[in-house]
Chains A and B, each alone.
Chain A
Amino acid sequence: MQSTFLQRFIAKPEFGPLVLLVLELVVFWSINPDFLSLQNISNTLAFTVELGLIALAMTLLMTAGEFDLSVGSVFGFSAVIMWTLFNSDMMPLGLAFLCAIAISLFIGFVNGWFVTKLAIPSFLVTLGMLLVVRGTALYITDGFPQRTWNAEGQWLAEALVGDFYIGTFRVYMSMFWFVLAAIAAHFLLNGTKAGNWIQASGGNANAARARGVNVGRTKVLLFMLSSAMAAFAGIISSIRTSAANPNSGTGYELEVIAMVVIGGTVLTGGRGTIIGTVIGIFILRVMRNGIVLIGVPGLAYNIFIGAIILGMMALHSWLERRHNAGV
């Protein structure tokens, strides 16, 4: 009985990534014990959750068989929009925040509409949107960062990125939002009717349609969620770093997709795991943080990330074949 439990645990798609994460932690910690210092953990977590929020939404979208390359642009754009509206005294910060989120929802809706109604692959649609959104952000700011230091003392800023101490451990509010979003996404995907529809849309859209599942609407809503999460993360990041740079978030889309697939979600849809994504998020963030701490030049970071992606894909494919062979 014990061995069957162990076998089932090993057969889970999250098992490989988990081993890798533990391995990373052990290696970095043994080379530099400061790696597991409270301060370093706190700093790593602060930045981790911003990409993590996007990765959670991306997991749901990829499970439905689509992906979104425009999230990095929306990440930069939404913060620019919010601070431009606020700094020009057009509206209070809360309203500017809602405006930025509403615009991101619209961007997601357009992505989804092109993909589902015009049947254009999400790669092309969201690549186009990436350029449109980034271009807009650069155009309205003339390429200059927006001031955000007016955020001091704003209740919204406190709710999004305020911090508190547990002993000497500094916790950012964004961590709280991330945990909440992760639990919600996990429940949505595995426990609800909507989750069943998401998986069915990615697994076999025709079969799902024949059972009355509204595949188009499911995907459009997920595109909107993905955009809104990217906007939310971008705004959190801008407050934390006191800068809304129209160029921020460049390249995030690929890092987010890497986090998701490393965690065990398949690029072709049908199967996704939020737990795996959370592990995938930490694998990449810990790697980025760890190689700097052990003295590897930061510029070499991408070599490791690339190697991890290739290694994990090989592992997942091997496990998949083993699974299909009935072992």
Chain B
Amino acid sequence: MAEELVRMAGINKFYGRVHALRDVNLTVNTHEVVGLLGDNGAGKSTLIKVLSGAVPMTSGDIFVRGKKVEIKRTTDAIANGIETIYQDSALVPQLSIARNLFLGREPIKGPRLLNRMDQDKMNEVASTLLKRVGITKNIPPTTSISALSGGERQAVAIARAMHFDSQLIILDEPTNNLGVAETQGVLRFVREVRDTGHSCIFIAHNIHHVFQVVNRIVVMRGGKIIADNIDPKKSSIEEVERVITGEHLIEALGLDAG
């Protein structure tokens, strides 16, 4: 049932002389939540920026459902069904939930020339979507984003990605700076994303959060993927931590970590 959704092949990225990504190959299948882990500077962010069109890659190919695609800017990624959600940065705080959801794709009513937004339709769809991502509190869709909590903002961004049929939703550190209840909320959205048939790449520093929602863990270090099929059901958090820091290599070679 799982098919290949997105495949990155032989991705290299140089920042000047710094080789940030070294021949990276990563595949994400349908109905899959992939946890992307790695220490600071491991290359996770660069990889995601390449996939989301925020920075151009130096060499390599990206395939979506087997077809090669060109991703040069963020709008290319979105057009190919790949949406990246950064904490806070994806929404306009002054605009309402509904206006944010439809930003750039506002439905029009009446004469084409007047360019009139169909706000009733926008609010109606927004209400339905908010319920779908599990916001049960009664928040009207006309509420401005600045009045929402960090978790609710991410819920809105996730709802938007789901509505516009993103196949792959990338969440960059979605649980940073969130309280316990808020974090549980975001993790619930991630499960919701998977259960409705979307795929997800989940990046987080907190391995506990990753373990709760992902099907597969990928670990990066030094610009390379060093493990790409860790099953969270069969591995312990401590084992994954050792892979991230590289201790497992030292152990494998029989050297003393000290």
Contacts and interface: CB of A to CB of B under 8 A. Distances in A.
B147 A207 contact: no
Interface residues of B, number: 24
B78 A210 contact: yes
A193 B95 CA distance: 13
Interface string A194-224: 1111011011101111111100000000000
Interface stretch (B28-36, B59-67, B86-94, B219-227): B86-94
A210 to B, nearest CB: 4
Contact of B103 (A192, A196, A323, A326): A196
Given A200-B95, A210-B90, A192 B146 contact: no
Contacts of A88: none
Interface of B is mostly: loop
Interface stretch (B12-20, B40-48, B110-118, B183-191): B110-118
Contacts of B165: none
Interface of A: 191-197, 199-200, 202-204, 206-213, 270-271, 323-324, 326
A323 B94 CA distance: 12
B254 interface: no
A125 B175 CA distance: 41
Contact of B104 (A204, A211, A270, A323): A211
20 contacts: A191-B116, A192-B114, A194-B115, A196-B103, A196-B117, A197-B104, A199-B94, A203-B93, A204-B91, A204-B93, A207-B89, A207-B90, A207-B103, A210-B74, A210-B78, A211-B103, A212-B78, A212-B104, A270-B93, A323-B147
B75 A200 contact: no
A210 B102 CA distance: 12
Contacts of A200: 92, 95, 99, 103
Contacts of A196: 95, 99, 102-103, 106, 117
Given A192-B116, A204-B89, A270-B94, 15 more contacts: A191-B119, A193-B115, A196-B95, A196-B106, A196-B117, A197-B103, A199-B99, A200-B99, A203-B94, A204-B91, A211-B105, A212-B104, A271-B94, A324-B146, A326-B147
